[in-house]
Amino acid sequence: MDHKSLHKLFQLTPKSDAPEFIIYSSKLNERLNYTCKFIFEFVLNCKYSITENKQLFKNSNAFKISYSTHSEKEIINISPYDLLFKTGVDESYKPKGTAKNGALYFHMSDSSCDLGYDIFSSVFYFISRYEEWQKFEADKHGRFELQQSVLFKDGHHLKPQVNSWIEEFKQALLKFYPSIKFPQKKFQYISTVDVDNLYAYKHKSSARIIGASGRDVITFKLNNLIRRFNVLQGKMRDPFDVYDELNELSKAKNIPLFYFFLQRTGTEYDRTVDPNSSAFKELFEKLNKSGVGYGLHPSYETINNNELLKQEFDLMRKNSNSPIQISRQHYLRFNMKTTPRQLISNGVIADFSMGFASGAGYRAGTFTPFYYYDLENEKASDLLMVPFTVMDGVYFIYSNAGVAAAEKQILELAEEAKRLNGIFVTVFHERTFDEVLYPGFGGLYRKLQEL
């Protein structure tokens, strides 16, 4: 999978006959270009250019937008907040949102701005992950969690605010320029599965089998003991062995499917089948033939150990005979200042970690993939960040909500993405399909394939 195929999958590329916009700004820089690329190309699928030449702007046949303190007649005007014209990270900068009609707005402007706020600065703040570059109170795993988000208050993190702003912007542009023919996007559901433990019982060492069986006896988990021996004797399928079914479901429903495999074991947070086991090699051979996507699930300590990360990539590439260019961090341990650089140095072109572990919602305020912006070097990178909206563990690890509550919220979130013709990415785990452990969640996954 390369950048071109990712852009096609996520509908990020304008067609040759797409409408073209020209934006006038008295200052040109990387932040403005990065933001406009996201808004116009990735979300609206339109072409754009930015100029500081007033005459060129005036003579252009493209649809005009002025990003200036000076208001122009008969074109749409956006009064700039100064965020796009600064550099680095200002720790004292804490934007305050203004709630209006169920949405939250930032960088409000006077009446000379046709939108009433600076949409460019607002979008940049979220897709650059500015708030994660600033100091924040991390959880016990060192993560930026939903309570730290500026969107968390009053549940604004549960809606794709950034995409809603851009939809409003689109409607404002149509009022100024009724002849615009905006390209139509299609809703896209994308399934992802994190594989923390390849199998529940199969392909484990004798020591692990004996130890686990002993624990079952001591804790009176006799049903688990019986299941283990039935699997090992070939009398029943391993409850985590769902790969054939999920692959076939993906193909039948034409739903893109991506797996992320842990490649480390024997630690407190990393416990899978031995990555050198023939079990992995056999499964990778199947996946190579199936056409589904898969990547690395970097282990818990890789966030602080680039050599370990490299070892895991090398091992998985060797055993899978695949380039392995996508990833999602185990436990979603992701440091905005360092993790992207680690991934880029190891040949990753897309990371799927952009979401919350403890609740559903939009960590970056958007469902649209965006490129990582390095605020230290003021430069956009080639690492595509793919947001997800919800993870299964929200409902049985971080709460006791249960499958009924999970279904209700997930379907509501999906409808919001459908309304905006967006992308809806979910995260499930191999163990979630075990009806003994998590009754009903496998059925919920199958229901989502009908979206």
pTM: 0.94
pLDDT of the residue at 205? 56
Mean of the pLDDT values across residues 106-110?
A: 83
Torsion of CA 204, 209, 211, 212, to 10 degrees: 90
Same domain, 79 and 152: yes
Q: Is 8 domain-assigned?
A: no
Look at residue 220 and tell me if it is in a domain: yes
On whether both 157 and 61 belong to a single domain, the answer is yes
Residues 224 and 369 in one domain: no
Same domain as 101, residue 230: no
Same domain, 230 and 322: no
Q: Looking at residue 214, what is its pLDDT?
A: 58
Which phi-psi region, left, alpha or beta, contains residue 365 (left: φ > 0; alpha: ψ -120 to 50)? left
pLDDT the model gives residue 382: 97
Classify the C-alpha dihedral 362-409-170-388 as positive or negative: positive
What pLDDT, on the 0 to 100 scale, is given for residue 404? 96
pLDDT of residue 111: 56
pLDDT (tens digit per residue) in 37-81: 999 999 999 999 999 999 999 999 999 999 998 877 888 999 999
pLDDT tens readout for residues 80-102: 999 999 999 999 999 989 988 88
Give percent of the chain with pLDDT exceeding 90: 83
Residue at 181 is within a domain: no
Nearest CA to 201 among 227, 172, 178, 221?
227
C-alpha gyration radius of the chain: 24
Joined together, the tokens standing for residue 176 give: 């100024």
Does residue 2 lie in a domain region? no
Among 27, 48, 119, CA closest to 78: 119
Residue 316 confidence (pLDDT): 98
CB 109 within 8 A of CB 116: yes
Alpha-carbon distances, residue 434 vs 13, 200, 358, 440 (angstroms): 39, 10, 21, 9
Tokens of 229: 């021996």
* Domain presence at residue 139: yes
pLDDT-derived band at 222, boundaries 50, 70, 90 = low
227 occurs within a structural domain: yes
**Close Cβ partners of 76 (under 8 Å, ≥ 6 residues apart):** 64, 65, 66, 114, 115, 172, 173, 176
Q: Are residue 233 and residue 282 in the same domain, yes or no?
A: no
Eight-state DSSP code of residue 155: G
The reply to whether 222 and 359 lie within a common domain is no
In a domain, 183, yes or no: no
* pLDDT tier for residue 236 given thresholds of 50, 70 and 90: confident
C-beta of residue 228 within 8 angstroms of C-beta of residue 240: no
Task: Confirm whether 6 is domain-assigned.
Answer: no
158 and 303 in a single domain? The answer is no
Burial of 179 (0-12, 13-18, 19+ CB in 10 A): exposed
Answer yes or no: do 325 and 365 share one domain.
yes
CATH number of residue 299's parent domain: 3.20.20.370
Domain assignment of residue 309, given as a range:
188-200+240-448
Q: Find the largest Cα–Cα distance for the chain.
A: 82
Residue 218 predicted with pLDDT over 90 = no
Q: What is the pLDDT of residue 101?
A: 82
**Sign of the torsion formed by the C-alpha atoms of 334, 336, 338 and 339:** positive
Q: Of 132-141, 172-181, 215-224, which range is least confident?
A: 215-224
Q: How many domains, the chain?
A: 3
Q: Are residues 111 and 225 in the same domain?
A: no
227 and 340, same structural domain? no
pLDDT of 210 over the 60 cut: no
Looking at residue 211, its pLDDT comes to: 57
* DSSP character string of 67-129: ESSSPPTTSEEEPPPGGGG--S--TT-----EEETTEEE-SB--TTSSSSB-HHHHHHHHHTT
Asked if residue 284 and residue 154 are part of one domain, the reply reads: no
CA-based nearest residue to 318, from 328, 310, 329: 310
